[in-house]
Amino acid sequence: MTSVLESLNTALHQAFASDPSVYLLGEDVLDPYGGAFKLTRGLSGQYPGRVLTSPISEAGITGVAAGMALRGLRPVVEIMFGDFVTLAADQLINHIAKFRWMYNDQVRVPLLLRTPMGGRRGYGPTHSQTLEKLFLGIPGLQVLAPCAFSAAGFDAGTLLRETILHSENPTIFIENKLLYLLPVTSDSPDFEIKLLTTPAQTPGYQLNLRGAPAARLTMTAYGYMAELARQAALRLAYEYEIFCEIIIPTQIAPFEISNILSSVQKTGKLLCLEEGTLSLGWGAEITAQAAEKLGPQLKCARRIAALDLPVPASGPLETAVLPSVDQILTTVLEMEKF
Protein backbone atom coordinates (compact mmCIF):
# COMPACT_ATOMS: atom_id res chain seq x y z
CA MET A 1 0.00 0.00 0.00
CA THR A 2 1.40 3.40 -1.00
CA SER A 3 1.37 6.19 1.54
CA VAL A 4 0.70 9.79 0.60
CA LEU A 5 4.32 10.51 1.51
CA GLU A 6 5.55 7.87 -0.93
CA SER A 7 3.18 9.15 -3.58
CA LEU A 8 4.52 12.70 -3.22
CA ASN A 9 8.14 11.57 -3.09
CA THR A 10 7.65 9.47 -6.23
CA ALA A 11 6.05 12.46 -7.93
CA LEU A 12 9.12 14.59 -7.21
CA HIS A 13 11.36 11.87 -8.66
CA GLN A 14 9.16 11.63 -11.76
CA ALA A 15 9.15 15.40 -12.23
CA PHE A 16 12.94 15.54 -11.94
CA ALA A 17 13.32 12.64 -14.37
CA SER A 18 11.04 14.05 -17.01
CA ASP A 19 12.15 17.70 -17.08
CA PRO A 20 15.71 18.91 -16.50
CA SER A 21 14.42 22.41 -15.74
CA VAL A 22 12.92 21.18 -12.45
CA TYR A 23 14.96 22.24 -9.40
CA LEU A 24 14.31 21.99 -5.68
CA LEU A 25 15.34 24.46 -3.00
CA GLY A 26 14.85 23.96 0.71
CA GLU A 27 16.35 23.52 4.13
CA ASP A 28 17.88 20.16 5.11
CA VAL A 29 16.69 18.55 1.89
CA LEU A 30 19.87 16.60 1.11
CA ASP A 31 20.23 12.84 1.51
CA PRO A 32 20.45 10.91 3.69
CA TYR A 33 18.18 13.18 5.74
CA GLY A 34 15.93 14.02 2.79
CA GLY A 35 13.93 16.81 4.41
CA ALA A 36 12.32 17.13 7.83
CA PHE A 37 9.35 15.05 6.62
CA LYS A 38 11.40 12.94 4.16
CA LEU A 39 9.59 14.22 1.12
CA THR A 40 12.79 14.84 -0.85
CA ARG A 41 14.46 11.54 0.02
CA GLY A 42 16.65 10.20 -2.78
CA LEU A 43 16.48 13.34 -4.92
CA SER A 44 19.85 14.90 -4.12
CA GLY A 45 21.57 11.55 -4.61
CA GLN A 46 20.13 11.21 -8.08
CA TYR A 47 20.12 14.86 -9.15
CA PRO A 48 22.89 16.47 -7.11
CA GLY A 49 23.12 19.68 -9.16
CA ARG A 50 19.40 20.34 -9.06
CA VAL A 51 18.70 20.06 -5.34
CA LEU A 52 19.89 23.16 -3.50
CA THR A 53 20.07 22.81 0.25
CA SER A 54 19.73 26.27 1.69
CA PRO A 55 20.45 28.25 4.80
CA ILE A 56 17.46 29.21 6.95
CA SER A 57 16.26 31.90 4.55
CA GLU A 58 12.64 31.31 3.56
CA ALA A 59 12.23 34.70 1.88
CA GLY A 60 15.59 34.34 0.16
CA ILE A 61 14.99 30.91 -1.35
CA THR A 62 11.44 31.78 -2.38
CA GLY A 63 12.80 34.87 -4.14
CA VAL A 64 15.61 32.93 -5.78
CA ALA A 65 13.05 30.40 -7.01
CA ALA A 66 10.93 33.25 -8.40
CA GLY A 67 13.92 34.50 -10.36
CA MET A 68 14.61 31.00 -11.66
CA ALA A 69 10.97 30.65 -12.72
CA LEU A 70 10.99 34.01 -14.51
CA ARG A 71 13.99 32.76 -16.49
CA GLY A 72 12.38 29.55 -17.68
CA LEU A 73 13.15 26.98 -14.98
CA ARG A 74 10.56 25.10 -12.89
CA PRO A 75 11.67 25.43 -9.29
CA VAL A 76 10.07 23.70 -6.32
CA VAL A 77 10.53 25.34 -2.92
CA GLU A 78 10.15 23.32 0.25
CA ILE A 79 9.25 25.36 3.33
CA MET A 80 9.97 23.03 6.24
CA PHE A 81 6.89 23.99 8.27
CA GLY A 82 3.90 25.82 6.84
CA ASP A 83 4.11 28.20 9.77
CA PHE A 84 7.29 29.64 8.23
CA VAL A 85 5.55 30.63 5.01
CA THR A 86 4.84 34.01 6.59
CA LEU A 87 8.57 34.70 6.21
CA ALA A 88 8.10 34.44 2.45
CA ALA A 89 4.83 36.40 2.34
CA ASP A 90 6.31 39.48 0.64
CA GLN A 91 7.82 37.30 -2.06
CA LEU A 92 4.55 35.45 -2.57
CA ILE A 93 2.19 38.40 -2.49
CA ASN A 94 4.13 41.41 -3.77
CA HIS A 95 6.34 39.68 -6.29
CA ILE A 96 5.41 36.14 -7.35
CA ALA A 97 1.64 36.63 -7.44
CA LYS A 98 1.94 39.97 -9.19
CA PHE A 99 4.46 39.48 -11.97
CA ARG A 100 2.37 37.88 -14.67
CA TRP A 101 -0.55 40.27 -14.49
CA MET A 102 1.36 43.41 -13.54
CA TYR A 103 3.75 42.84 -16.44
CA ASN A 104 0.81 42.61 -18.81
CA ASP A 105 1.00 38.83 -19.28
CA GLN A 106 4.54 39.15 -20.66
CA VAL A 107 6.09 36.71 -18.14
CA ARG A 108 5.26 33.41 -16.44
CA VAL A 109 6.21 32.26 -12.94
CA PRO A 110 5.95 28.45 -12.89
CA LEU A 111 7.01 28.01 -9.28
CA LEU A 112 5.63 25.54 -6.76
CA LEU A 113 6.05 26.09 -3.04
CA ARG A 114 5.31 22.96 -1.00
CA THR A 115 4.82 23.02 2.70
CA PRO A 116 3.40 20.85 5.47
CA MET A 117 0.61 22.41 7.53
CA GLY A 118 -1.54 21.31 10.40
CA GLY A 119 -1.58 20.11 13.99
CA ARG A 120 -2.39 16.96 15.97
CA ARG A 121 1.28 16.26 16.61
CA GLY A 122 1.80 18.37 19.70
CA TYR A 123 4.25 20.77 18.07
CA GLY A 124 2.57 23.79 19.65
CA PRO A 125 1.51 27.24 18.46
CA THR A 126 4.20 27.95 15.82
CA HIS A 127 4.61 24.50 14.24
CA SER A 128 1.00 23.32 13.99
CA GLN A 129 -0.91 26.00 12.16
CA THR A 130 -3.09 25.80 9.10
CA LEU A 131 -2.24 29.14 7.56
CA GLU A 132 -3.24 28.77 3.93
CA LYS A 133 -6.23 31.02 4.43
CA LEU A 134 -3.78 33.94 4.50
CA PHE A 135 -3.00 33.17 0.88
CA LEU A 136 -6.53 32.54 -0.38
CA GLY A 137 -7.97 35.30 -2.51
CA ILE A 138 -4.60 36.68 -3.61
CA PRO A 139 -5.01 37.17 -7.37
CA GLY A 140 -2.28 35.30 -9.21
CA LEU A 141 -1.66 32.69 -6.51
CA GLN A 142 -3.01 29.19 -6.90
CA VAL A 143 -3.41 27.19 -3.68
CA LEU A 144 -3.65 23.40 -3.97
CA ALA A 145 -4.13 20.78 -1.29
CA PRO A 146 -3.77 17.05 -1.92
CA CYS A 147 -5.76 14.48 0.02
CA ALA A 148 -5.39 10.73 0.54
CA PHE A 149 -7.95 9.73 -2.08
CA SER A 150 -7.33 8.53 -5.59
CA ALA A 151 -9.66 8.06 -8.53
CA ALA A 152 -9.09 7.37 -12.21
CA GLY A 153 -5.38 7.16 -11.44
CA PHE A 154 -5.30 10.70 -10.05
CA ASP A 155 -3.84 11.02 -6.56
CA ALA A 156 -1.75 13.37 -4.42
CA GLY A 157 1.39 12.56 -6.37
CA THR A 158 -0.31 13.13 -9.72
CA LEU A 159 -1.47 16.53 -8.54
CA LEU A 160 2.05 17.45 -7.45
CA ARG A 161 3.83 16.11 -10.53
CA GLU A 162 1.43 17.61 -13.06
CA THR A 163 1.52 20.99 -11.36
CA ILE A 164 5.33 21.08 -11.21
CA LEU A 165 5.62 20.07 -14.85
CA HIS A 166 2.76 21.93 -16.48
CA SER A 167 1.44 24.84 -14.41
CA GLU A 168 2.20 28.29 -15.80
CA ASN A 169 1.26 29.98 -12.55
CA PRO A 170 2.74 30.07 -9.07
CA THR A 171 1.29 27.49 -6.72
CA ILE A 172 1.28 26.98 -2.97
CA PHE A 173 0.93 23.25 -2.33
CA ILE A 174 -0.41 22.53 1.16
CA GLU A 175 0.39 19.11 2.60
CA ASN A 176 -1.34 18.37 5.88
CA LYS A 177 1.19 16.51 8.01
CA LEU A 178 -1.23 13.76 9.00
CA LEU A 179 -1.77 12.89 5.36
CA TYR A 180 1.78 11.68 4.93
CA LEU A 181 1.32 8.30 6.60
CA LEU A 182 -2.20 7.65 5.33
CA PRO A 183 -2.53 5.11 2.54
CA VAL A 184 -3.55 6.44 -0.86
CA THR A 185 -7.10 5.14 -1.11
CA SER A 186 -8.55 4.35 -4.48
CA ASP A 187 -10.51 1.30 -3.64
CA SER A 188 -12.68 1.44 -0.55
CA PRO A 189 -15.11 -1.27 0.56
CA ASP A 190 -17.34 1.45 2.02
CA PHE A 191 -17.13 4.34 -0.41
CA GLU A 192 -17.40 4.89 -4.08
CA ILE A 193 -14.71 7.43 -5.02
CA LYS A 194 -15.36 9.48 -8.11
CA LEU A 195 -13.08 12.00 -9.79
CA LEU A 196 -14.65 15.43 -10.29
CA THR A 197 -13.26 17.51 -13.09
CA THR A 198 -14.04 20.98 -14.35
CA PRO A 199 -12.03 22.95 -16.90
CA ALA A 200 -11.23 25.70 -14.41
CA GLN A 201 -9.68 23.69 -11.60
CA THR A 202 -7.55 20.68 -10.71
CA PRO A 203 -9.61 17.50 -10.21
CA GLY A 204 -11.42 16.85 -6.94
CA TYR A 205 -13.15 13.83 -5.52
CA GLN A 206 -16.66 12.84 -4.58
CA LEU A 207 -17.29 10.15 -1.98
CA ASN A 208 -20.58 8.31 -1.61
CA LEU A 209 -21.32 5.38 0.63
CA ARG A 210 -21.77 2.25 -1.45
CA GLY A 211 -25.37 1.15 -1.84
CA ALA A 212 -26.67 4.00 0.32
CA PRO A 213 -29.90 5.88 -0.31
CA ALA A 214 -29.75 9.45 -1.63
CA ALA A 215 -27.51 11.70 0.46
CA ARG A 216 -29.25 14.22 2.73
CA LEU A 217 -26.25 16.40 3.39
CA THR A 218 -23.13 17.62 1.57
CA MET A 219 -19.86 17.78 3.42
CA THR A 220 -16.96 19.56 1.83
CA ALA A 221 -13.39 19.37 3.05
CA TYR A 222 -9.84 19.33 1.73
CA GLY A 223 -6.55 17.88 2.91
CA TYR A 224 -6.66 15.80 6.08
CA MET A 225 -10.12 17.12 6.95
CA ALA A 226 -11.40 15.00 4.06
CA GLU A 227 -10.26 11.95 6.02
CA LEU A 228 -12.20 13.14 9.08
CA ALA A 229 -15.21 13.69 6.84
CA ARG A 230 -14.89 10.11 5.62
CA GLN A 231 -14.75 8.74 9.16
CA ALA A 232 -17.71 10.87 10.24
CA ALA A 233 -19.77 9.90 7.20
CA LEU A 234 -19.23 6.23 7.98
CA ARG A 235 -20.39 6.63 11.58
CA LEU A 236 -23.33 8.80 10.58
CA ALA A 237 -24.47 6.08 8.22
CA TYR A 238 -24.02 3.13 10.56
CA GLU A 239 -25.01 4.77 13.83
CA TYR A 240 -27.68 7.27 12.70
CA GLU A 241 -28.68 6.27 9.17
CA ILE A 242 -27.78 9.72 7.93
CA PHE A 243 -26.19 9.58 4.50
CA CYS A 244 -23.76 12.23 3.29
CA GLU A 245 -22.01 13.05 0.07
CA ILE A 246 -18.44 14.33 0.46
CA ILE A 247 -16.97 16.80 -2.03
CA ILE A 248 -13.21 17.13 -1.79
CA PRO A 249 -11.58 19.87 -3.84
CA THR A 250 -7.84 19.90 -4.41
CA GLN A 251 -7.85 23.46 -5.68
CA ILE A 252 -8.58 25.86 -2.85
CA ALA A 253 -7.81 29.07 -4.72
CA PRO A 254 -8.89 30.37 -7.14
CA PHE A 255 -12.03 28.51 -6.12
CA GLU A 256 -14.66 27.10 -8.43
CA ILE A 257 -17.76 26.08 -6.48
CA SER A 258 -19.77 24.28 -9.15
CA ASN A 259 -19.17 20.75 -7.81
CA ILE A 260 -20.31 21.75 -4.34
CA LEU A 261 -23.37 23.54 -5.70
CA SER A 262 -24.42 20.50 -7.75
CA SER A 263 -24.25 18.38 -4.64
CA VAL A 264 -26.11 20.84 -2.40
CA GLN A 265 -28.81 21.19 -5.05
CA LYS A 266 -29.56 17.52 -4.34
CA THR A 267 -29.08 17.50 -0.56
CA GLY A 268 -30.11 21.03 0.50
CA LYS A 269 -27.56 21.07 3.32
CA LEU A 270 -23.93 22.09 3.41
CA LEU A 271 -21.28 21.47 6.02
CA CYS A 272 -17.80 22.96 5.44
CA LEU A 273 -14.83 21.48 7.27
CA GLU A 274 -11.41 23.05 7.64
CA GLU A 275 -8.51 22.80 10.05
CA GLY A 276 -7.72 26.52 9.98
CA THR A 277 -9.39 28.93 12.38
CA LEU A 278 -13.12 29.50 11.92
CA SER A 279 -13.34 33.26 11.43
CA LEU A 280 -13.03 34.69 7.94
CA GLY A 281 -11.95 31.39 6.51
CA TRP A 282 -12.45 29.07 3.55
CA GLY A 283 -15.77 27.75 4.86
CA ALA A 284 -17.09 31.27 5.20
CA GLU A 285 -16.42 31.90 1.51
CA ILE A 286 -17.99 28.61 0.41
CA THR A 287 -21.05 29.21 2.55
CA ALA A 288 -21.46 32.77 1.27
CA GLN A 289 -21.19 31.67 -2.36
CA ALA A 290 -23.62 28.80 -1.80
CA ALA A 291 -26.11 31.16 -0.15
CA GLU A 292 -25.77 33.70 -2.96
CA LYS A 293 -26.16 31.16 -5.71
CA LEU A 294 -28.67 28.70 -4.25
CA GLY A 295 -31.03 30.99 -2.32
CA PRO A 296 -33.75 28.96 -0.54
CA GLN A 297 -32.40 25.72 -2.07
CA LEU A 298 -29.79 25.93 0.67
CA LYS A 299 -31.81 24.93 3.71
CA CYS A 300 -29.00 24.84 6.21
CA ALA A 301 -25.26 25.57 6.26
CA ARG A 302 -22.68 25.11 9.01
CA ARG A 303 -18.91 25.44 9.34
CA ILE A 304 -16.57 23.35 11.44
CA ALA A 305 -13.07 24.66 11.94
CA ALA A 306 -10.45 25.23 14.61
CA LEU A 307 -11.31 27.53 17.48
CA ASP A 308 -10.02 31.08 17.08
CA LEU A 309 -7.01 30.34 19.24
CA PRO A 310 -3.38 29.37 18.68
CA VAL A 311 -2.86 25.59 18.51
CA PRO A 312 -1.78 24.42 21.99
CA ALA A 313 1.01 21.92 22.60
CA SER A 314 -0.79 19.94 25.31
CA GLY A 315 -2.62 16.96 23.80
CA PRO A 316 -6.01 17.49 25.44
CA LEU A 317 -5.92 21.23 24.71
CA GLU A 318 -4.93 20.64 21.09
CA THR A 319 -7.77 18.15 20.68
CA ALA A 320 -10.18 20.71 22.11
CA VAL A 321 -9.03 23.42 19.72
CA LEU A 322 -8.93 21.42 16.47
CA PRO A 323 -12.02 20.08 14.71
CA SER A 324 -12.93 16.44 15.38
CA VAL A 325 -15.10 13.62 14.08
CA ASP A 326 -17.32 13.93 17.17
CA GLN A 327 -17.87 17.57 16.42
CA ILE A 328 -18.91 16.70 12.88
CA LEU A 329 -21.39 14.16 14.25
CA THR A 330 -22.90 16.62 16.70
CA THR A 331 -23.21 19.30 14.06
CA VAL A 332 -24.78 17.00 11.49
CA LEU A 333 -27.32 15.83 14.06
CA GLU A 334 -28.23 19.46 14.75
CA MET A 335 -28.60 20.06 11.03
CA GLU A 336 -31.19 17.27 10.92
CA LYS A 337 -33.71 19.72 12.41
CA PHE A 338 -33.80 21.75 9.21
Partner 1 sequence: MASNETLFRQIYRIRRFEETVLENFPKGVFFGTTHTYIGQEANAVGVLANCQANDIVFSNHRCHGHFLAYGGSAAALFAEMMGRSTGVCGGRGGSQHLQWRNFYSNGVQGGILPIAAGMALAEKFKNTQAITYVFLGDGTLGEGTLYETLNLAALWQAPVLFVLEDNRIAQTTPTQLGIAGSMPARFEAFGIPTREIDSSSVLDILPLAEELSALVRDNRTPGALILHTERFGPHSKGDDTRSPELVNQLRQERDPLAILAKQLPELVCSQIKTEVDYEIADSLKQALSSPFPIL
To the nearest whole angstrom, how small is the minimum distance from the Cβ of residue 84 to partner 1? 13
Residue from 24, 43, 65, 147 touching partner 1 (CB under 8 A): that is 65
Of residues 1, 32, 72, 211, which one binds partner 1 by CB under 8 A? 72
Span interacting with partner 1, options 46-54, 135-143, 204-212, 285-293, rule CB under 8 A: 46-54
Among 32, 55, 189, 211, binds partner 1 (CB under 8 A): 55
Contact letters for partner 1, residues 141-170 (x by CB under 8 A): ------------------------------
Among residues 2, 10, 54, 198, which is the contact residue for partner 1, using CB under 8 A?
Answer: 54
Task: For the chain, give the number of residues.
Answer: 338
* Residue closer to partner 1, measured from CB, 73 or 234: 73
Residue 17 or 320 with smaller CB distance to partner 1: 17
Measured between alpha carbons, how far is 71 from 124 in angstroms, rounded to an integer? 39
- Would you tell me how many other CB atoms lie within 10 Å of the CB of residue 202? 22
Q: What is the 3-state secondary structure (H, E, C) of the chain?
A: CCEHHHHHHHHHHHHHHHCCCEEEEECCCCCCCCCCCCCCCCHHHHCHHHEEECCCCHHHHHHHHHHHHHCCCEEEEECCCHHHHHHHHHHHHHHHHHHHHHCCCCCCCCCEEEEEECCCCCCCCCCCCCCHHHHCCCCCCEEECCCCECECCECHHHHHHHHHHHCCCCEEEEEEHHHCCCECECCCCCEEEEEEEECCEEEEEEEEECCCCCCCEEEECCCCHHHHHHHHHHHHHHHHCCCEEEEECCEEECCCCHHHHHHHHHHCEEEEEEEEECCCCHHHHHHHHHHHHHHHHCCEEEEEEECCCCCCCCHHHHHHHCCCHHHHHHHHHHHCCC
Q: Which amino acid is at 219?
A: M
Three-state SS sequence of 250-289: CEEECCCCHHHHHHHHHHCEEEEEEEEECCCCHHHHHHHH
Q: Should residue 46 be labelled a site residue for partner 1 when binding is judged by CB under 8 A?
A: no
**Which CB atom, from 54 or from 262, has the smaller least distance to partner 1?**
54
Give me the least distance between CB of 198 and partner 1, in Å please.
24
**If binding is defined by CB under 8 A, does position 23 make contact with partner 1?**
yes
CB 114 within 8 A of CB 77: yes
Is residue 52 a contact point for partner 1 (CB under 8 A)? yes
Q: In the complex, what is the shortest distance from the CB of residue 34 to partner 1, in angstroms, rounded to a whole number?
A: 20
Of 47-55, 114-122, 209-217, 314-322: span binding partner 1 (CB under 8 A): 47-55
Query: CA 309 to CA 321: how far, in whole Å?
Result: 7
Q: By rule CB under 8 A, what string of x and - marks binding of each residue 105-144 to partner 1?
A: -xx-------------------------------------
* Shortest Å, Cβ 170 to partner 1: 12
Nearest Cα to Cα of residue 173 among 197, 147, 152, 196? 147
Judged by beta carbon, residue 107 or residue 317, the one nearer partner 1 is 107
User: Which range binds partner 1 by CB under 8 A, 59-67, 184-192, 210-218, 296-304?
Assistant: 59-67
- 86 near partner 1 (CB under 8 A): no
Q: CB nearer to partner 1: give 90 or 336.
A: 90
Scanning 35-43, 51-59, 230-238, 290-298 for contacts with partner 1 by CB under 8 A, the matching segment is 51-59
Positions in 212-251 near partner 1 (CB under 8 A): none
Q: Does 79 bind partner 1 (CB under 8 A)?
A: no
Of residues 23 and 173, the one with the C-beta less far from partner 1: 23
Q: Residue numbers of the site for partner 1 (CB under 8 A)? A: 23, 49, 52, 54-55, 57, 59-73, 75, 90-91, 94-95, 98-99, 101-104, 106-107
